[in-house]
């Protein structure tokens, strides 16, 4: 959270700051709204591909998967605060994510999905 918003809260007579760690380095409300607008634009672009999928041809799947990955990591990094928190949280989450991706890719390969 920005210093500006913290000072504003103090002026408004809210509770005193007793949790330094909880407020450390987190983005301002405005930044969160900017992130949400980027996510909304990406979602709109994803939906737009539905109407032009014939013209995109074989590019459709890579484009959609790329946008999905970007949205996923934006939410994880900014809204879930992995960008600001301890690397251990990132490693724990990525461990589960990569294990799941690996296991189920092998599963799909085994059953000749691709």
Partner 1 sequence: MSVTAETHDPDAPTAAIDRAPHSEHGPADGHATSTGLSNEKLGMWVFLGSECLLFGGLISTFLLLRSREVEDMRGPEVADLYDIPFTSVSSFVLLMSSLTMVLALAAIQRGDQQRLRAWLVTTALLGSTFVAGQVYEFTAFLREGLGFTTNLQSSAFFVLTGFHGVHVTIGIVMLMSLVVMSARGSLTRQRAETVEIAGLYWHFVDVVWIIIFTVVYLIR
By CB under 8 A, name the binding residues for partner 1. 1, 5-6, 8-9, 12, 14-26, 28-29, 32-33, 35-36, 39-40, 43, 46-47, 49-50, 60-61, 64-65, 67-68, 71-72, 75-76, 78-81, 84-86, 88-89, 92-93, 95-97, 99-101, 103-104, 107-108, 111, 113
Q: What CA–CA distance (Å, rounded) separates 57 from 47? A: 16
Output 15 or 55, the one with its CB closest to partner 1.
15
| Cβ at position 43, least distance to partner 1 in Å | 6
User: Phi/psi of residue 24, each to 5°?
Assistant: -70, 125
Locate tokens 């939410």: which residue?
A: 75
Q: What CA–CA distance (Å, rounded) separates 32 from 28? A: 7
């Amino acid at each position: 959270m920005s210093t500006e918003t913290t000072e504003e809260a103090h002026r408004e007579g809210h509770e005193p700051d007793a949790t330094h760690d909880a407020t450390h380095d987190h983005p301002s409300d405005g930044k969160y709204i900017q992130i949400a607008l980027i996510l909304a634009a990406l979602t709109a672009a994803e939906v737009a591909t539905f109407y032009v999928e014939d013209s995109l041809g074989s590019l459709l799947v890579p484009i959609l998967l790329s946008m999905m990955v970007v949205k996923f990591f934006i939410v994880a990094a900014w809204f879930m605060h992995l960008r600001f928190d301890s690397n251990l949280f990132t490693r724990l989450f990525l461990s589960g994510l990569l294990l799941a991706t690996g296991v189920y890719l092998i599963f799909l390969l085994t059953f000749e999905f691709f």
